[in-house]
Structure 1
Amino acid sequence: MIKTVFWLILAAFPAGALLIGFSLPAHAQLGHALEFGIVPYLPTPTILERYKPLRIYLEQRLHEPVSIVSAPDYPSFIECTQRRDYPFVITVSHAARLAELEAGYQPMLRPGWDFNALLLVKKDSAFQDIKDLRGKTIATPGPYAVVSQLGANWLRQAGLKPGQDVTLQPNLTHTTSLHAVVEGAADAAFISNRAFVAVKSDLKDRVRSLGQSKESGGPSVVYMAHPALSAKRVAEVKAAILAFVQTPEGKEFVASLGYDTLREMKPGELAALDPYVRELKQVMANKPAKQ
């Protein structure tokens, strides 16, 4: 398994002056690298665009290189996290709880708001309610995403059995799920209401909402630190990120990702996600073996 490095900007160069794409072997030494593994919940270009202000601020404040890495898909990213490949992680809620329980990652920060599943259909479709989707296809970010679990629960509450009354179509990201709707490959999509904020406006304008789930999935993302990092290092990075979100650029950054702000995690806060972790582990256990 390799980690896919989207970019590495060296602090010794002007911001944006050097753009490198390459791969690193898993289990790279921690050292003092300020490397963030970000879950691939959005397309790579969108992740790069959205997280650029944070990267620039951290490089300038901490006077060191910052890199962003990820993996091709959710399962690969979760596997890398469980192997402790990333010094710092920005991951989805149930994967964060799994990383805390089984890999020892330390929860640092989270958005103030929880997220819900948003049900979206093509703007000119006739659908008015989730019950109208009986016999139809709903695109999702795949079985590893909490929002897919929220959507399945919502269907059951509406009297529809996932996989029987409604077909759930897995996609790579929230954005590709929306593309499936506008391109006619699916009738509707379940995506995170927070991820929808980060979707480009030309795609947003082609869909409309049928509402959102009453059930929430916890924080949309959790910022975490590797268990081998010192308390001093974790506190330094945490303080820098919290300082960033108080700046005008930082406030724009969190708004672009659908957050209200970032705040420190409370002890035991992720425990409420244990039911989703059990479902995640079941999905992982049923994953086909690689050839």
Structure 2
Amino acid sequence: MAVMLAPTRRSLLRHALPGGALLVGLPPASAQPAPLQFGVMPNVSTRILLGQYQPFRGFLEQELGRAVEVVTAPGLQAFHERSVAGAYGLVVTAANLGRVAQLDAGLRPIAIYEPRIPGLIVTLRSRPLASAAELRGLTVAMTNPQSLVALKFIHWLRAQGMEIGRDASATHARNEDSLAQLLNTPETRAAVMSRGEFNAIRADIRENLVIWQEFTRVPGFLVLLGPRLDQAESARVTAAIGRLPESEAGRAFFAATGFNAIRPVTPADLAELDDVVDETRAFLRAP
């Protein structure tokens, strides 16, 4: 079952106005198209997503003249499965997952978030690393193994002459706070996370951590059109998203999320993801 993040304006006004009066700025309910399903990757809690995407949702409703429902799924794999099945008309997801959705299911990338996402190697302040070689024989903690930051770390470690599964192990945590707590175990010397994950760690836990290295900056989230969105509506949604950054709603969205731009995606952006496509597919197939 999809997780709906916000009531539509239609449902709100039906409760607020006698007899379900007409919505301001929208066609009569009898002529209203089905709500646009706006699927957002569950990278943070549903409550946080609701607050972050409220300005974005409201802007799209105003621009498109139709209801928009922001929805997500219980986990990343379920979200990806629903995305490629065409459950969403508009999708925001991790860049590597978006590239796979494009190649495997025909979703159409139209935009990308900025800035790029820093990938961090974090240690306890009391147990810093002197070099990557100290990870040999130990465990590295991460949250989502199929995340772009995690996959790029595997490539980075390979460049240091080590392989996960051969020279070091990986362990996975349910959330950011649990990820940091794993560093208290003797066998876990480092945790791999995005800057957003690091910032989401509780302050009393984070004060005991130190960023040993920023090892990469990966592309931001991709915005894609679902395979079932028709040509006319696709053009309208694309144009609306292009106008979002200069709007008051766009500024509110950026303030809530830490992003600072949404720009058209380029072939070079997509090509940068191709070295992790096969690994992403393998993680998505894993039980």
Q: C-alpha displacement at 1:112, in angstroms?
A: 3.8
User: Residues 256 and 129 of structure 1: is their aligned pair in 2 closer, same or farther, counting only changes over 3 Å?
Assistant: farther
User: Residues 177 and 227 of structure 1: is their aligned pair in 2 closer, same or farther, counting only changes over 3 Å?
Assistant: same
What CA deviation, in whole Å up to 9, does each residue of 1:261-285 have, x standing for no partner? 0011235741332221111122233
Taking the aligned partners of 1:52 and 1:197, their CA distance within structure 2 comes to 24
Q: Which has the higher helix share?
A: 2
Please report the RMSD computed on the Cα atoms of aligned residues, expressed in angstroms: 2.8
Deviates more, 1:66-75 or 1:267-276: 267-276
Aligned residue number for residue 280 of structure 1: 280
What CA deviation, in whole Å up to 9, does each residue of 1:143-176 have, x standing for no partner? 221211111122222333312432211234xxx1
- Whether 1:94 and 2:108 are equivalent positions in the alignment is no
Structure 2 portions without partners, runs of 5+: 17-32
Aligned residue number for residue 7 of structure 1: 6
**What percent of counterpart residues are identical?**
25
Taking the aligned partners of 2:268 and 2:136, their CA distance within structure 1 comes to 39
Q: C-alpha displacement at 1:91, in angstroms?
A: 0.8
Number of residue pairs matched? 265
Question: What is the aligned counterpart of 1:126 among 108, 128, 132?
Answer: 128
User: Residues 122 and 156 of structure 1: is their aligned pair in 2 closer, same or farther, counting only changes over 3 Å?
Assistant: same
TM-score (norm. length: structure 2): 0.79
- Whether 1:161 and 2:160 are equivalent positions in the alignment is no
Asked whether the equivalents of residues 11 and 66 of structure 1 are also in contact (C-alpha less than 8 Å), the reply is no
Q: C-alpha displacement at 1:92, in angstroms?
A: 0.9
Deviates more, 1:53-62 or 1:73-82: 53-62
What CA deviation, in whole Å up to 9, does each residue of 1:157-210 have, x standing for no partner? 2333312432211234xxx145321463654321223x3476267365453211
- Whether 1:44 and 2:46 are equivalent positions in the alignment is yes
- Give runs of aligned pairs for residues 26-175 of structure 1, distance below 5 A: 32-172=34-174
User: Residues 57 and 81 of structure 1: is their aligned pair in 2 closer, same or farther, counting only changes over 3 Å?
Assistant: same
**Equivalent position amino acid for 1:3 in 2:** A
| Structure whose alpha-carbon radius of gyration is higher | 2
**Equivalent position amino acid for 2:180 in 1:** V
Aligned residue number for residue 223 of structure 1: 223
TM-score (norm. length: structure 1): 0.78
What CA deviation, in whole Å up to 9, does each residue of 1:74-125 have, x standing for no partner? 2111111121111111011111111111211111110244334211223444
Asked whether the equivalents of residues 197 and 257 of structure 1 are also in contact (C-alpha less than 8 Å), the reply is no
Asked whether the equivalents of residues 11 and 60 of structure 1 are also in contact (C-alpha less than 8 Å), the reply is no
Asked whether the equivalents of residues 110 and 265 of structure 1 are also in contact (C-alpha less than 8 Å), the reply is yes
Aligned residue number for residue 179 of structure 1: 178
Taking the aligned partners of 1:124 and 1:257, their CA distance within structure 2 comes to 31
What CA deviation, in whole Å up to 9, does each residue of 1:227-260 have, x standing for no partner? 2222321222233233222134423423543433
